[in-house]
A and B are shown apart, each in its own frame.
Chain A
Amino acid sequence: MTKRETQTRPSGIRRFLNTPKGIVLSVLAGLTLLAALRPQDHLVLVNVLVAVVTGLLVDGAVALLQRRKRLFSDGAVITGLIVASVLGHATPLWIVAATTVIALISKHIMVIGRKPLFNPAAVGLLVAIWVFHAGESWWASLALMPAWMTLIVLIAGLTVAVRVNKFPQVTAFLGTYFGLLLVMAISHTGLPSDTPADALRVPFVNSALYLAFFMLTDPPTSPAAYRQQVLFGILAAVVATAIFATVGGLSYLLLGLLSANLWKVVWVRGSQRRPAARERQRATPGAADSW
């Protein structure tokens, strides 16, 4: 290697930050720090620290068990960031830690091949809601910041969507989601406490954007081919909106995502029986490690 080559070669960190995971990690960290600027929310960084450290410990332990050389898991950091960002500020630290553990264990247990079946953070958060009765605030989506700051989420999210090659999926999800909310409003359907007017506005729209840009785009749990990406996005939005219209709450987005994850598994299983589709799958692999 010549001296010039050595000089122009990007450092390890810079190289990592240019990868899809590096971009997502830096964007999520940026949004988290920005959201924590709110005077009431400084302490929520403790939740983030607990979630990230727990995640690193869990994935590090799994790596040890599997005798992997690399113990540090960037995917665990991202999962920890998402978990802490979605759970409410007042969530006890043990619930934050437990949610992260569940999320990461699901990543290692519920797998097809080497890829996780479901978005790990979504699994953990759903268990936290149903079992621990934890609240959600999606605070890192800048939901509690001035409304104009949603633009920052949009710009950061679009950057991620383009860089991880999930733009069709994100636009399919958001287009369908907003379209169905419009239909709900026109047809006057839905619950009195969960109206389309709410869902289309801050703070609710922030959670949908956060899910679309940073959770829906998880490479191993979402399809790579564009046509499947569009179907995946539409399905997630349809399920989410249906639950929003009939049950309400805040877990409708997570359930929409997990339903689409499940559909992807079924589609992959089906496609494995078809030689042509199997070839396509091989040609467009997603990353094995989830975020």
Chain B
Amino acid sequence: MDMARIGKRLMAVCSVAVTTVYAAGYIYTMPSAQASTNGIPNLSSGGPTQSTPGAAAKAYQSHQPTANQQHKVPHQPGASGSDKHKASNSSTTTGQSKPKTAAKGTGKAVKKAKAATALYKDGVYTGVGNNAYGSLALSVTIAKGRIAKVVINQYSMHYPQSVIDPQLPEEAVKMQTWKIYLISGATASTYNFAEAMYYALQKAKA
């Protein structure tokens, strides 16, 4: 039996049929695909097939580096511009919080002294990161104004948790930042981790 038995016309018909089924599924799922990119404030959606940098990448752009991050080389959003990444923050996080938090109550001198000693309020804060590859939730323990412990509570990524755990939680504690190195091959997990850390630390901001 050779290919000539099928014929080019039948091949074309089959190709069109498969493409039509694909297009139908693609169009039908457009609302849900777009919904996953609309959750992040300031995250421009380039359409369902257009890759968009993750929330963590966006946050990188909007967040000012702290003093103890100067020796770090955080992952540049431009470097992963081609990554297929449809990111969104979970509604359970403080996704609406802005990087610049409003000062309340205390006087300027007191606030300055407090900022010098502690970046964050003590307590346990949670954050969630979502993207096309899955979701990740973590809790950050702040003790004496510093990141004391990071625990990944929920992990439903397509990559094994061992790819980023315990490396990223340890690195976050060691470097005292959510700006962690990108783990090659686990881009999505790293983004989600950074995103979840970012939102948790926004909650913890003093």
Contacts and interface: CB of A to CB of B under 8 A. Distances in A.
Contacts of B134: 193-194
Nearest to B29: A197
Given A88-B185, A135-B160, A146 B26 contact: no
Contacts of A143: 84
A256 interface: no
A167 B14 contact: yes
Contacts of B3: 162, 165, 167
B185 A137 contact: yes
Interface in A33-58: 38-41, 43
Interface in A228-283: 248-250
B51 A200 contact: no
Interface in B140-173: 156, 158-160, 162-163
B24 A147 contact: no
Contact of A202 (B17, B30, B51, B160): B51
Contacts of B185: 88-91, 135, 137
Given A171-B14, A182-B25, A226-B6, A88 B50 contact: no
Given A165-B2, A196-B29, A197-B33, A202 B84 contact: yes
Contact of A144 (B14, B17, B30, B82): B82
A193 B25 contact: no
A175 B51 contact: no
Interface in B175-199: 182-187
B32 interface: yes
Interface residues of B, number: 46
A225 interface: yes
Contacts, number: 125
B162 A145 contact: no
B115 interface: no
A224 B5 CA distance: 13
Interface residues on A, range: 35 or more
B18 A201 contact: no
Interface in B1-60: 1-3, 5-6, 11, 14-15, 17-18, 21-22, 24-26, 28-30, 32-33, 36, 48-51
B80 A40 contact: yes
Contacts of B2: 165
Contact of A134 (B21, B30, B160): B160
B122 interface: no
Interface in B70-111: 79-80, 82-84, 86
Contacts of B6: 167-168, 226
B28 A185 contact: yes
A147 B84 contact: yes
A272 to B, nearest CB: 19
Contacts of B82: 38, 144-146
A195 interface: yes
Contacts of B28: 182, 185-186
A193 B32 CA distance: 12
Contacts of B30: 197
A100 to B, nearest CB: 17
5 contacts: A40-B80, A135-B186, A194-B134, A195-B32, A250-B158
Interface of A: 38-41, 43, 88-91, 133-137, 143-147, 158, 162, 165, 167-168, 171, 174-175, 178-179, 181-182, 185-186, 192-198, 200-204, 224-226, 248-250, 284
Given A41-B184, A133-B162, A136-B158, 6 more contacts: A89-B185, A90-B163, A179-B25, A197-B33, A200-B25, A224-B1
